[in-house]
Amino acid sequence: MQKSTISELGAKKRVKDEASIQSSFSKHPFIVKAFSFFQDMDNLNILMEYKPNGDLFALWKQSDRFSENLTRVYIAEIALGLDFLHKNGIIYRDLKMENILLDELGHISITDFGLSKCLSIGERTRTICGTLQYIAPEVLAMQTYTHSADWWSLGILMYSLLAGHFPVKPGKDHFEMAKMCSQSTYELPFYGNYSNEAKHIVKNLLEKDSRRRLHDIYSLQNQPFFQRLNFDVVFAKKIPIFDIILENCNQYTTKRINEIFSVLPPMYFQSENTEIKLNGINGDYINGFDYDATFMVGNRTYVWCNSIAQAKPILV
């Protein structure tokens, strides 16, 4: 992230909040781990866990649409991550497929906390933000809202995974999106041969009245769609997702999925032994981001030295 852009946008506090949230809550199995935050002359840097299989959006586009079995596991994993954030006083506000990364086994990791905010259970906020197709109706209507807005976004995501398309096309702005939202039923299409259980939970997540919307992990677990799923097993990442992905793929799709899920060796950073003349600390210093950083990757400790722009292992 360029410091000049951050300063121009007056976004220093937002960036510091993002770093604080990610560093505080990244030990959850479905949230991307952040190893370190540091700055150089021109940029703020976040060193995060490497996820080799891209994002959920890329997998969805290659798959056309997901089976109910695959959707069930992915929605359960995302919901566990959301529930963890909410219980720790964070509203996420930008849940979308592009922000769901996939690890070497296909399990999800939530990333990008740029729009997240500290918000205790029961409190309300009013900033209009997020990705238009995922924004809850109360947010679009410029009303105050709670963590329930994140569960609407989960409903949009679930609908899209099952149907192979979004329930509503994106509007040009939140005014047009609010109008389109008010005119839409958000029911799964009749031609999809969906189970009654799938239709029921999508309807409960995409309830326009936020007070009646499904908005907690306990209610989700007790939905008929999820009653045969052991959430302890989900949390432990013991479900073989790749096998489920391949269950009903045709030959072409199987080839493309295998290309997406080609396991690459972990690369946490790439750097060269190139001198950088810092001239002391002349850049715009942003409090909370060090110029040198020490971090753990596995069982090894590394130190980032801006004088040589390189991460070197050190003995501990």
Residue 40 phi, psi (nearest 5) = -120, -160
Does the domain spanning 56-260 belong to CATH 1.10.510.10? yes
94 an active-site residue?
A: yes
Contacts for 11 with CB less than 8 Å, ≥ 6 apart = none
Q: Mean per-residue pLDDT for 104-109?
A: 93
* pLDDT score recorded for residue 16: 80
Segment among 12-16, 130-134, 182-186, 218-222 with least mean pLDDT = 12-16
As a whole number of Å, the CA-based R_g of the chain is: 21
Q: Which of 17, 83, 94, 150 is catalytic?
A: 94
* pLDDT score recorded for residue 263: 45
The gap between the terminal CA atoms of the chain, to the nearest Å, is 31
Report how many helices (DSSP H) and strands (DSSP E) the chain contains, helices first. Answer: 12, 9
Closest residue by Cα to residue 60 from 98, 22, 29: 98
Q: What is the pTM of this model?
A: 0.82
Segment among 42-46, 114-118, 124-128, 278-282 with least mean pLDDT = 278-282
- Alpha helices by DSSP H, listed for the chain, are 3-8, 12-25, 56-63, 68-87, 137-140, 148-163, 174-183, 196-205, 217-221, 231-235, 241-245, 251-260
pLDDT greater than 70 at residue 43? yes
SS3 132: helix
Q: Mean per-residue pLDDT for 178-205?
A: 94
C-alpha span between 287 and 9 (Å, rounded): 17
Q: Please answer whether residues 6 and 44 qualify as being in contact, where contact means their C-beta atoms are separated by less than 8 angstroms.
A: yes
pLDDT higher at 243 or 158: 158
Amino acid at 49: E
Q: Mean per-residue pLDDT for 276-304?
A: 49
Give tens-digit pLDDT for 67-84: 999 999 999 999 999 999
Amino acid at 57: F
Q: Where in the chain is the domain with CATH 1.10.510.10?
A: 56-260
Q: What confidence category does residue 249 fall into, taking pLDDT thresholds of 50, 70 and 90?
A: low
